[in-house]
Every structure is written in structure tokens, then in C-alpha cells.
Amino acid sequence: MTKNTRTPGHSPKLTKLHKLSVAGVATLGAATLAFSLAPSHTQTTTSDAAISAAPVAFSQQPIKNVQASVTDQQAGASLKTQAIEAKKKSADAAAKKAADNVRKVQAASRSVQRPAIETVAMKTVAMKTYATKTYAAKTAATKTYANNLDGWIRQSLDIMKRRGIPGSYNGLHRNIMRESSGNPMAINGWDINAINGIPSKGLLQVIQPTFNAYHVPGTSWNIYDPVANITAAANYAADKYGSMDNVNSAY
């Protein structure tokens, strides 16, 4: 038998080569263990990307919500503005319609009131005219005239004016002087009228039938009355010749 050269309690001495081999095996094992425990390269990259992207996604969400909120607010404001504009247009239309109705009512009122106003105005004018004529008549009635040819002519002219009978002072005076020389009791007893039994009488030498036909109301029916005679003769001359002013001879 061979002899055991190992001494109990001591391990054989490792050579330098053995030490290197052991270190290499240890290193390789550690590396293998680390590789088996660590995730693959692709998974690590994905996880890193997810981790790095997560905060970005988290930070973008509130921004989107804020933008949506602003957009909603703008849309709401736009709707409110449109509603206000619509109310304003409706109010303007209602105001315009009300104004038109007021104008129509005023126009209708004027159209109703105008005839009444015109009627009142016409009545007022008529009353004033009547009052004027009445006053003139009363004035003429109370007016005094001289009891002579001048006074008779002037009184006749006032009556003629109220009755619308034309004639002038000069026209009357001229014909009176030719016919009777101003004598109210003058009578013609020699002309054709006298021969026929109806002699001419008075200031303007009027026959009785003519006096009766052209007698002017308000004057005497006595053919010798100076004012009645002049006025009746002037009325006859106006009918036959247009006015006593147009008479220059026997008429």
C-alpha cells in the first residue's frame, strides 16, 4: 500500500492555477445567477418607458380637461349672448309694434276728431257770420239818417247791401235827379203809363205793379215812401239792367 502523505487537519495546498480556476468558476456562477434573476433587456426597456411616460400622461389629462372646460364656458357664453340678442330683438320688435299701434290709434283719432273739429269750426264761422249780420242789421235798424235826399239814399244803400242789391250813391242820385228832381211826391200824369192809368210815382218814378213786384222786405209798402221807392226801383234795375248805375234814361 502506498503511504498517505496528507496530514490530518490540513488541506492540500492550492496552487496558483487552482486559485484562478476557482475564482473563474465563482465569477461565472455569480454572473449566471444575476442574469437569471434580472429581467430581459426588452422588458427592462419597456418598463422604463412606461415609467417615464406615466408622468407625461398624467400631466396631459388635466390640460385636456381645462381646455374642454374653457370651450364649454365659451359655448355657454355664446348661447347666453345669442339669447340676450334674441330677447333684445324681440323687445325691439315689440316696441316697434307698440309704437305703430300708437300711431295708428292717433291717426284714427285724428280722422275721427277732424270732421268734428271742422264741423265745430264751420259752426263757429257760421255763428260769427250770423252775429255779424245780426249786428249789422241791428246797427242799420238803429242807425239814424237825415230826413232828406242824402239820408234817403244812404238808408236805401244799407238795405240794398244787406239784400245783395247792387248800386252806388252816384247811380241812385243821378237817376233820382233826372226822374223827379228829388221830390218823393212827384207823379207823371202825361206819359204812356199815365194814359194807361198807372202813372209813375215817387223819387224814381216807379209804377205800382213794378213797385209791388220788386218791393224789398223791411221797407214800407207806400210807393211814395222815399226809401221804399228807391230800394224797389234799384231792385228792378238790377234785375233788368244789372244795376241802377247802368241806367241813363227812362227805364
Grid coordinates given for 127: 255763428
The CATH number linked to 211 is 1.10.530.10
Q: Is residue 26 part of a domain?
A: no
pLDDT of residue 138: 66
Q: Is residue 62 part of a domain?
A: no
DSSP state of 244: G
Q: Is residue 36 part of a domain?
A: no
Same domain membership, residue 172 and residue 101: no
Residue 40 bridge partners (DSSP): none
| Cα angle for residues 82, 85, 90 (degrees, 5° grid) | 125
Same domain membership, residue 167 and residue 89: no
Phi, psi torsion values for 219, nearest 5 degrees: -115, 165
Dihedral angle over CA of 12, 16, 17, 21, nearest 10: 80
Same domain membership, residue 152 and residue 237: yes
Number of domains in the chain: 2
- DSSP of 138-166, one letter per residue? HHHHH----SSHHHHHHHHHHHHHHHT--
Q: Is residue 92 part of a domain?
A: yes
pLDDT of residue 86: 84
Task: Report CA-CA distances (Å) from 193 to 12, 84, 187, 196, 197.
Answer: 209, 105, 11, 5, 6
Same domain membership, residue 180 and residue 156: yes
* pTM, to two decimals: 0.46
pLDDT of residue 52: 47
What distance in Å separates the CA atoms of residue 4 and residue 193, rounded to the nearest whole number?
219
pLDDT of residue 44: 43
Same domain membership, residue 150 and residue 222: yes
Same domain membership, residue 130 and residue 168: no
User: Of 111, 143, 175, which marks where a domain is finished?
Assistant: 143
Same domain membership, residue 197 and residue 116: no
Same domain membership, residue 178 and residue 125: no
Which domain covers residue 158, as residue numbers? 146-246
pLDDT of residue 139: 61
Helical H segments across the chain, by residue range: 16-37, 41-142, 149-163, 169-179, 192-195, 208-213, 226-241
Q: Give burial (CB, 10 Å; 0-12/13-18/19+) of 225.
A: middle
pLDDT along the chain (251 residues), means of 10: 47 50 50 45 45 48 55 71 83 87 82 70 76 66 91 98 97 97 96 94 97 97 98 98 94 85
